[in-house]
A and B are shown apart, each in its own frame.
Chain A
Amino acid sequence: MSVLTTDLLRQVEAELNEDPIVASNTIWYRATLRLVCDEQSWDFVVAEGKVNLAEDQVSSADPLVSIRGSSDDWRPILGGLRGGLHRAFRHRLLVFEGDAVATLLLWKTIWRLGEALGEAGKGG
């Protein structure tokens, strides 16, 4: 069973939408942030300063950024690994794919997403 769950990602969504760093970063860009864990995936729609967890996989013209790994790969992020998703990129713990420009324009949001996952993971 995947370590990422819809319930956990709902907590992450709420956390991200209260984060001023995310608000100031996402106000300028539109993208879909897809998290893939084992065989499951979840999409966060980023637009107009908000991050919304979609019920189903999103099909849109917005650039797609995907972060992929197994449950084992995601577990350290949920455990609050220092550096979170930023470190996961540098240390190649997870696979970052998709639109490279959107990835880097949303780098601060991706960093905060990792922090929120760590918080939600600890709470869970």
Chain B
Amino acid sequence: MPYVTVDDVRLYYEEVANDAPPLLLVHGAAQDTLSWRFNLDHLGGMFHVYVVDLPGHGKSQLASEGPIGDLEEYAIYAERFMEHLSVARYSVMGHSMAGGIALHMALHHPERLDMVALLDGACYTSGTYGEEVFELVSINPIDWFEVNFRTICSPSTDPRRVEEIAFDVRRCAPEVAMNDIRAYAALDLREQVGTVMTPLIALHGEDDWSIPPELGEKTAELTGGPSVFSPLEGVGHFPHTEAPELFHRALGEALDRIRERS
């Protein structure tokens, strides 16, 4: 199994190697590489794909200072991960909170990125996570997250897919899940995102009430470079798992549109 060590933290990754342009996939809060399980074959037909488990997630080691509670810190790990693999230029796709990670990467090193893709991600939150929520959730994060993930899928999603999404979150350590939502809750890059000139795609499930599509659309509007916003009908917060074929089709169309605009 492939691992790289970044700042003394062993990170697990998967790779679909070919001669196509590189694409880094970054999972959302309380998830890991497994969340892309329905997408690797398809994306591997268009990109040389790298998928990483962030520190403390999946098969990656926890950072020595403990669970990370800052999206910018996650972004630095992702950047260093690609440096270790000697990939100088690439695109990045982040799901949910990792949309914020991808935007931090675009702000840090625009010269490295060909494209940023947000999948139900945005440059800010809907403000539904206050301190009183964290206090209560910290008592039993895993049950709370499981219910959260189940309810933010679309009502039309195949129940078997919902079970798989629930399975993903139950595998995450509670303290890591808690720090992920704290990190996500602090996300607000509205002031900075106008300086992002990297082409940006925002794909968003229309039935996502956790990070509503309006936030993804607004992010696409605020970014300084070319952008495409693509809403996905009948899909919730996890388009790549809930409706992989629809997600792949929408991504293909969005890539065509962003290339025309770039």
Residues of A at under 8 Å CB distance from B?
A: 82-84, 86-87, 89-92, 96, 100-101, 103-105, 107-108, 111
Contact = CB atoms under 8 A, between A and B. Distances in A.
B223 to A, nearest CB: 27
14 contacts: A82-B209, A86-B147, A96-B136, A100-B136, A100-B139, A103-B139, A104-B137, A104-B139, A105-B139, A107-B144, A107-B147, A108-B143, A108-B146, A108-B147
Contacts of B207: 82
A91 B148 CA distance: 12
Contacts of B136: 89, 96, 100, 103-104
B152 interface: yes
Contacts of B140: 104-105, 107
Chain B at the A interface: SS class: helix
Interface in B151-174: 151-152, 155
Contacts of B137: 104
B147 A90 contact: no
Interface of B: 128-129, 133, 135-137, 139-140, 143-144, 146-148, 150-152, 155, 207, 209-210
Given A82-B207, A90-B128, A108-B143, A100 B151 contact: no
Nearest to A96: B136
Given A82-B151, A84-B151, A90-B128, A107 B209 contact: no
Nearest to A91: B128
Contacts of B146: 108
B204 to A, nearest CB: 16
A84 to B, nearest CB: 7
Contacts of B144: 104, 107
Contact of A101 (B139, B150, B155, B210): B139
Contacts of A84: 151
Nearest to B133: A90
A103 B155 CA distance: 25
A10 to B, nearest CB: 25
A53 B175 CA distance: 36
A104 B135 CA distance: 11
B151 A83 contact: yes
Contacts of A104: 136-137, 139-140, 143-144
A111 B129 CA distance: 18
Contacts of B150: 111
A104 B140 CA distance: 6
A108 B140 CA distance: 11
A83 B208 CA distance: 10
